[in-house]
């Protein structure tokens, strides 16, 4: 996650730092590397209005993808947006997992198989 903007901005103080506290120090499954860029030219190069955010992700064998956050600069909205960008890996589909996917509005692919099929 890249934040573009200076440290005196309210977005830095109220959103970026709170977001970093939750995700940069989270457990491995939710850990997100946080980067802060104060250079306005770098923001322009990345087509981001400062202050602003980009979420970067890269799947094995594919190029890095940069997704610009375009919604309102509100902490809860940013949390929801990032959760939608993350890909969860689940080995067993339980009611707890179902509730988490529904409550966080995440996309999911479900593979159903018979209880007797163990392959």
What is the structure's pLDDT at 12? 95
Does residue 12 sit within a domain?
Answer: yes
- Comparing CA positions, the residue from 65, 37, 41, 64 lying closest to residue 52 is 37
Question: Which structural domain range is residue 99 located in?
Answer: 2-103
pLDDT cut 70: percent of the chain above it: 75
Does residue 77 sit within a domain?
Answer: yes
Q: Which among 17-26, 28-37, 43-52 has the top mean pLDDT?
A: 43-52
pLDDT tens digits for range 41-99:
999 999 999 999 999 888 778 888 899 999 999 999 998 888 887 766 655 667 777 77
pTM assigned to the model = 0.69
Report how many domains make up the chain. Answer: 1
Does residue 111 sit within a domain?
Answer: no
Chain mean position to CA 94:
23
Within 10 angstroms of residue 32's Cβ, the number of other Cβ atoms is 19
Does residue 87 sit within a domain?
Answer: yes
What is the structure's pLDDT at 60? 78
């Amino acid at each position: 996650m890249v934040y573009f903007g200076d440290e005196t901005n309210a977005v830095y103080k109220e959103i970026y730092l709170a977001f970093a506290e939750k995700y940069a120090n989270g457990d491995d499954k939710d850990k997100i590397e946080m980067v802060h860029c104060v250079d306005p030219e770098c923001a322009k190069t990345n087509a981001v209005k400062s202050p602003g955010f980009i979420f970067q992700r890269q799947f094995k064998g594919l190029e890095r993808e940069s997704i610009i956050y375009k919604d309102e600069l509100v902490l809860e909205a940013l949390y929801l947006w990032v959760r939608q960008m993350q890909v969860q890996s689940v080995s067993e589909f339980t009611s707890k997992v179902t509730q988490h996917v529904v409550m966080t509005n995440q996309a999911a692919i479900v593979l159903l198989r018979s209880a007797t099929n163990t392959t």
